[in-house]
């Protein structure tokens, strides 16, 4: 669901105008809501890339809804407001808003703001993916190091010989080194002696 956008405003005319501006630029509006509570439910269901949300609405305002949405998932929020008071800007920033626009909104204001908010989200998603891969690599390395210690002790080998033995066993069996190491830690060395011997 690439570049799915949710539009939230209690005024149906404003929602329609924003939808038309977005669709003319090739964006896909996945849904609309008329208050913050509906927005939260819609975001949980659609998991959009961006929410364009009014501040002043019945039931739940845009800032409160933004706080909840940002805790739920990494969706960018572009806030629409008729006001530009400093206090509101601070509240919006602490709620996790990507940007805000003062009404009335023209396509000359909206489209660049949408492009920037979506670009920020893509960068954050890429960074999060890189961080997760790095964490996985570090976790795997720790497992290999622990298993290597067990094999070194059992065979009386130095670190380099042990690593060579484990890597050779991994390559000949087609079992990734991290999985082989995890198996040694979980099942004990006895179950893996066969594939480690003569390596």
Q: Give dist(CA 168, CA 27) in Å, integer.
A: 52
Q: Which domains does the chain have, with CATH numbers?
A: 4-105 (3.40.50.2300), 135-196 (1.10.10)
Angle separating helix axes 177-187 and 159-173, nearest 10 degrees: 100
Percentage, residues of the chain above pLDDT 90: 28
pLDDT of residue 84 exceeding 50, the answer is: yes
Task: List the structure tokens of 91.
Answer: 């509240």
CA distance to 23, 56, 92, 105, 117, per residue, from 62 (Å): 23, 6, 9, 16, 17
pLDDT of residue 44 exceeding 90, the answer is: yes
Q: What is the pTM of this model?
A: 0.64
Q: Which residues pair with 52 in a beta bridge?
A: 7, 78
* Over residues 118-133, mean pLDDT: 80
Q: Give dist(CA 165, CA 126) in Å, integer.
A: 36
The model's pLDDT over 133-168, given as tens digits with 9 standing for 90+, comes to 888 888 888 988 888 888 888 888 888 888 888 888
pLDDT of residue 189 exceeding 60, the answer is: yes
């Amino acid at each position: 669901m690439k570049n799915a956008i949710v539009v939230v405003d209690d005024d149906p005319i404003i929602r329609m105008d924003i939808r038309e501006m977005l669709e003319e630029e090739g964006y896909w509006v996945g849904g609309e809501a008329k208050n913050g509570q509906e927005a939260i439910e819609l975001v949980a269901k659609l998991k959009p890339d961006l929410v364009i949300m009014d501040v002043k609405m019945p039931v739940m305002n845009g800032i409160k809804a933004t706080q909840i949405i940002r805790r739920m998932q990494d969706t960018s929020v572009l806030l629409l407001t008729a006001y530009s008071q400093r206090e509101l800007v601070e509240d919006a920033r602490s709620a996790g808003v990507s940007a805000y626009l003062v009404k009335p909104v023209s396509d000359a204001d909206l489209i660049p703001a949408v492009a920037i908010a979506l670009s920020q989200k893509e960068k954050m998603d890429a960074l999060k993916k890189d961080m997760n891969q790095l964490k996985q690599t570090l976790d795997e390395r720790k497992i290999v190091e622990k298993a290597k210690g067990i094999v070194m002790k059992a065979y009386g080998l130095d670190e380099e010989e042990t690593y060579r033995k484990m890597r050779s066993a991994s390559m000949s069996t087609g079992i990734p080194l991290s999985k082989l190491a995890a198996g040694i830690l979980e099942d004990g060395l006895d179950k893996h002696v066969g594939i480690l011997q003569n390596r």
